[in-house]
Amino acid sequence: EETKVVIIGAGVCGLTLATFLQKSGIHCIVLERRDRAYIETRQRAGVIDSRAVKMFKDWGLADKLLSGPAAYAIEYRLNGSPRLFISNEGNDNGTQSLFCTQQMLVNNLLRDLIDVTAGDIRFEVADVIIRNEKNERPQVTYTDESGQHQVTCDYIVGCDADRGISRSSIPEGVLTKYSYEYGYAWLAALVEAPVTGYPIMAISKHGFAAQLPRGPQRSRYYLQCALSDNATDWPDERIWDEIRLRIGDSSVKNAHIHNIEFVPFRSVVYSPMQYNHLFLAGDAAHIVPPVSAKGMNLGLYDVEVLAQALIKAVKEHDITALERYSDTCLTHIWNYQDFALWMADTMHDAGDPTLHGEFRQMVARARLDNLFHSATAARLHMEYQGGTN
């Protein structure tokens, strides 16, 4: 069997890339180890930044794929005192970031790709093996319930996240891994209660907490916690008590908690993001901590750069953009690693002096204050939030 591009992983990045290629008349096959229902119910990120919104508009897909309220304001609450940061300017592209969940985007991508444009997504595949030698056409083999299959292609794209097989198929010594561990984690709780006022990032001496929308009926609370914490340390009653304490609002009522997850804070970049005919995109190539709300958005940036480069390579036999793929993306990624580090340090240090001491606490508070006193600092923050920087 033959195709132009094999995409490994049907997460938000793999599906977006497949949609762009499909729309451009380039045949591709997506291989995914989970079933469709699993992917449809996976709830993760909640913000599509304005750069990504504009990207979907430019592809004529925004109306079909995106919906949700504009993400124009966030309340930074320091020890219970609210300060509203309005972000409706600074986005030079005439669009606004959206509170549109990753789950909704993924569901819309699946519906459009499978049910409308008859895209080729193969679920529940196993034993994916990549053959990626310099002077040969690449091949991907996999098994499903009918046996083993082999696909020959021109390009392979690894969108199978941090624990996938794409990156690990690259020989030792080719990639450099840059990583940073923050030393703490977030407990992420998906609850059956909507955000009633503005989304909140609450900085407190008891530790950081946030409440962000996840659709009209639900929200995600995040609570800073120890790296070693697990579910037995956090019974529901403790979660609600800590939420009330950290956001400084005793009127918050307990609600049903759908699930909790623990997210260790780390930043990782693999460089370069390509090897022979294989290109890495999204979490397969980089991780940012969730405080930045950039994980999905960085992946969407990668796949747009890659889609444009693949279209040039396939249609015009011009591989210059493809050869520059890694450099183009890494410039953007390092910039947003800086933003993620800034957000993590500011949000946590300004509240909890046990992390890095009182000196860093005072510096972090000054930095936060600056957003409200300096138009220049505010402008840069807006650009980062919008993804336009």
Q: Where do contacts with ligand RFL occur on this chain (CB under 6 A)?
A: 8-14, 31-34, 39, 44-47, 102, 128, 159-161, 164-165, 188, 261, 263, 282-284, 290, 293-297, 299
Nearer to ligand RFL, 166 or 361 (CB): 166
Q: Measured from the CB of residue 163, what is the shortest distance to ligand RFL in angstroms?
A: 6
Q: Measured from the CB of residue 165, what is the shortest distance to ligand RFL in angstroms?
A: 4
Nearest to 106 by CA among 38, 54, 157, 27: 38
User: Quick check: 209 and 222 in contact, CB under 8 A?
Assistant: yes
Are β-strands 126-131 and 139-144 bridged in parallel, bridged antiparallel, or unpaired?
antiparallel
User: Quick check: 52 and 387 in contact, CB under 8 A?
Assistant: yes
Cα–Cα distance between 295 and 46 in angstroms, integer? 10
Q: Measured from the CB of residue 126, what is the shortest distance to ligand RFL in angstroms?
A: 8
Q: Measured from the CB of residue 30, what is the shortest distance to ligand RFL in angstroms?
A: 9
Q: Measured from the CB of residue 99, what is the shortest distance to ligand RFL in angstroms?
A: 10
Q: Tokens standing for 60?
A: 């004529």
Q: Tell me the residue length of the chain.
A: 389
Q: Measured from the CB of residue 285, what is the shortest distance to ligand RFL in angstroms?
A: 8
Nearer to ligand RFL, 90 or 199 (CB): 199
Nearer to ligand RFL, 11 or 351 (CB): 11
The residue whose Cβ lies closest to ligand RFL is: 11
Nearer to ligand RFL, 18 or 293 (CB): 293
Nearer to ligand RFL, 10 or 361 (CB): 10
Nearer to ligand RFL, 288 or 364 (CB): 288
Cα–Cα distance between 44 and 223 in angstroms, integer? 16
Cα–Cα distance between 379 and 16 in angstroms, integer? 30
Q: What are phi and psi of 140, to 5 degrees?
A: -125, 130
Q: Residue 133: count other Cβ atoms within 10 Å of its Cβ.
A: 10
Nearer to ligand RFL, 160 or 352 (CB): 160
Q: CB-based contacts of 43: which residues, under 8 Å, 6+ apart?
A: 101, 102, 103, 190, 214
DSSP H helices in the chain? 12-23, 36-41, 50-58, 62-65, 102-110, 236-247, 295-316, 320-323, 325-349, 353-356, 358-373, 375-386
Q: Measured from the CB of residue 362, what is the shortest distance to ligand RFL in angstroms?
A: 28
Q: CB-based contacts of 182: which residues, under 8 Å, 6+ apart?
A: 265, 266, 267, 289, 344, 348
Nearer to ligand RFL, 11 or 248 (CB): 11
Are β-strands 5-8 and 28-31 bridged in parallel, bridged antiparallel, or unpaired?
parallel
